[in-house]
Amino acid sequence: MITKSLFRLMLLFLLAGGVVGCQEKEDTEPPVKEEPNPNIAINKWINDVMKEVYLWLSEMKTPIANTSEPKDYFESLLNRPTDRFSVIYPDYQQLIKSLNGISLEAGYEFTLYRESSSNNNVVAEVTYIKKNSPAATAGMKRGDYITRINGTQMTLENYRTVLGLIDKPHTLNTLRFNESSGGFVAQPEISLTPVELSENPNFLDSVYTVNGEKIGYVIYHFFAPGPGNNSTAYDQEMDGIFAEFKTKGIQHLILDFRYNGGGFVSSAVNLASLIAPSVKTTDIFSKTKYNSFLMQFDNLKNVQTPFREKAENLGRILKGNRVYILTSTRTASASELIINGLKPYMDVFIIGDKTTGKNVGSVPFEDDDNPANKYGMLPIVSRSFNSLDQSEYTNGFLPNIEAKESSERLKPLGDVNELLLRKAIEQITGVPSGARYQQLERVDVGSTLDSKVRAGVMIEPVKLD
């Protein structure tokens, strides 16, 4: 019997003989050794991971050539159009930073609109300014109209190219509405240099007393426990906000998710545990189901995520056992998980626009075995259900009261006359606002929020690779 060691020894002798034999021949140029295409190893990693974790395993497509660009190879596997959300990024570390709200930017978000139905010009209306950002320092405000970037007028044909330059130093020409004159006034040109900005998702919180009703209001832009490195600073800050609400004895709660495209499930559990009435660790917030391969493993057969017991919980003091949630078409993923997870426990009253409709979750993957592979994947790996096994919201949650931000000129966030907040306060107090507002007919072309890594992302806490 030939052992492995003896086989290796025999092979070594054969190779040595080959070398001697070559030396007896006339010297020739050594053959040029071709380097293997690096895409082959990267695409093998993509395929190996997807064959284990992809939610639509039986519908996974036949891949294209393994020498293809990894982005194209990944895309070729997906169950489109059912799968709207799986995505791959060229840099895993940048992906993780972005999920935690860290990115290179100037600190302003905006929505794009057709300037007029009679031309192809596009204008950008600023939706919010991030704290401690270059945009904040430059004095930009919500509601400002951006007419030119680097001196270029945006159009339906060029706006994607123009917007591709705002992660570099750039200039803006803007207009600001003047309430006194009732018209827009040109502002001095702004020069902005992007920085690596760490955005805090806890954007604004306030307590209002209107017609004898005490109302707590919080704007939350994405779900992240902290700015990275296992930090829970943002979750702890949210706990503090709710502790203050409880101390002040609020009777109603409004959550503003209009710009919230999702994020980490752990932060969704934390927030839901501050709201659902008297929940304990034995009460189920959500259930998670995986593909047929993963469901063979005992630890993935019956995954249930319980609520947490929080001293700051407001559930018992909310009138009518109701929470008000403000939404838009960009409200997605972990935001919708909150809506679905709270429904078995309380009345969830939605004001705004129909949500995105994302009841599936992702896990970020990196290639630990190949340092040359910098890619990061966010494939869809799971589907979420609430405690009643309900998950049918792929078409989005419909609002109880429809209100589209595009229909009015923007008021400052937190202003009781701002459209969505005003509608919620009217519903709470039963007293309609007496103010009159100009109705606008605008076509939403897109938003900077659409390009965020976290847009439509729900990050599951389980690492599967």
What are the pLDDT digits (tens) for 327-344?
A: 999 999 999 999 999 999
Band (pLDDT 50/70/90 cuts) for residue 28 is low
pLDDT digits (tens, 9 = 90+) for 177-199: 998 898 999 999 999 999 999 99
Model pTM above 0.75: yes
- Give the count of beta carbons closer than 10 Å to the beta carbon of residue 298: 7
Beta strands in 72-193 (DSSP E): 87-89, 102-105, 108-114, 122-129, 145-149, 152-153, 170-178, 183-186, 190-192
What pLDDT sits at residue 23?
A: 41
Q: Give yes or no for a cis peptide into 38 (omega within 30° of 0).
A: no
pLDDT band for position 15 (50/70/90)?
A: very low
Mean model confidence pLDDT for the chain: 91
**Listed range (118-127, 397-406, 416-425, 441-450) with the worst mean pLDDT:** 441-450
Check residue 22 and give its pLDDT.
40
Give the pLDDT score at 461: 65
Mean of the pLDDT values across residues 64-68? Answer: 98
* Amino acid 33: pLDDT: 67
Can you give the pLDDT at residue 409?
A: 93
pLDDT-based confidence at residue 454 (cuts at 50, 70, 90): low
Least confident of 68-72, 405-409, 443-447, 460-464: 460-464
Architecture of domain 109-196: Roll (2.30)
Output the pLDDT for position 449.
Answer: 87
Contacts of 222 (CB under 8 A, 6+ apart): 101, 199, 201, 260, 261, 262, 263, 452, 454
- Mention every residue, 6+ apart, whose C-beta is less than 8 A from residue 9: none
pLDDT, tens digit (0-9, with 9 covering 90-100), for 381-428? 999 999 999 999 999 999 999 999 999 999 999 999 999 999 999 999
Helix (H, G, I), strand (E, B) or coil at 134: helix
Count other C-beta atoms under 10 Å from residue 122's C-beta: 23
| Phi, psi angle pair for 288, to nearest 5° | -125, 130
Residues 306 and 285: their CA atoms lie apart, in Å, by: 5
Q: What percent of the chain has pLDDT over 70?
A: 90
> Residues near 282 by Cβ (< 8 Å), separated by ≥ 6?
306
Quickly name the fold that domain 199-362+380-459 has: 2-enoyl-CoA Hydratase; Chain A, domain 1 (3.90.226)
Q: Cβ(447)–Cβ(110) under 8 Å? A: yes
pLDDT at 458: 67
Q: What is the pLDDT of residue 456?
A: 60
| CB of 196 closer than 8 Å to CB of 93 | no
- Rounded to 5°, the CA angle 426-220-245 comes to 65
- Element at 351 (helix H, strand E): strand 347-352
Determine what percent of the chain is predicted with pLDDT higher than 90: 80
Domain boundaries, the chain: 38-99, 109-196, 199-362+380-459
Structure confidence at residue 27 as a pLDDT band (50, 70, 90): low
